[in-house]
């Protein structure tokens, strides 16, 4: 079973001149449980637009998003977005930034260190 399916997503914006610009067209992929995926592209290529559509914050003009076998028509409760430049604390090291997500977890220092290094290595 796919965790997430993006099927033929299209999104266009209307410029002040009235011209329609497609930022996404025919985007199709699936993500399985446990997979880690990166969305790469230059500024203005539609990365954030795609993430907003997956999160249910923006409606696509074409296609569907399916999360855990349910078509997303509103805010997707299984998805959240954190943009990198707002999520990092510049006064902390990379390891300390990653560890902030584990602060509320009750685990040994060794286990925290292992998880932090695994997360960094994965990226």
Q: Where in the chain is the domain with CATH 3.40.50.300?
A: 2-79
Assign a CATH topology to domain 2-79. Answer: Rossmann fold (3.40.50)
- Measure the CA–CA gap between 43 and 48, rounded to whole angstroms: 9
Residue 106's pLDDT band (cuts 50, 70, 90): confident
Residues 57, 59, 65: CA angle, nearest 5 degrees? 90
**Coil, strand or helix at 104:** coil
Phi then psi dihedrals of residue 40, to 5 deg: -115, 145
Edge to edge, what strands does the sheet with 2-14 contain? 20-32, 2-14, 62-67, 70-71
User: Does the structure show a pLDDT above 80 at 102?
Assistant: no
pLDDT in tens, 29-88: 999 998 888 888 888 899 999 999 999 999 999 999 999 999 999 998 888 776 665 567
Give the pLDDT confidence score for residue 17 in this predicted structure.
94
> Model-level pTM?
0.68
Contact between residue 21 and residue 15 where contact means Cβ atoms under 8 Å apart? yes
């Amino acid at each position: 079973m796919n965790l997430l399916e993006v099927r033929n997503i299209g999104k266009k914006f209307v410029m002040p001149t009235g011209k329609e610009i497609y930022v996404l067209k025919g985007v199709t992929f699936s993500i399985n449980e446990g997979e880690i995926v990166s969305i790469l592209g230059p500024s203005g290529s539609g990365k954030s637009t795609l993430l907003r559509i997956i999160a249910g914050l923006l409606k696509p003009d074409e296609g569907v998003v399916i999360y855990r076998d349910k078509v997303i028509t509103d805010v997707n409760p299984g998805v959240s977005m954190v943009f990198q430049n707002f999520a990092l604390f510049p006064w902390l090291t990379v390891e300390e930034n990653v560890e902030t997500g584990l602060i509320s977890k009750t685990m040994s220092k060794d286990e925290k260190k292992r998880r932090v290094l695994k997360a960094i290595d994965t990226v």
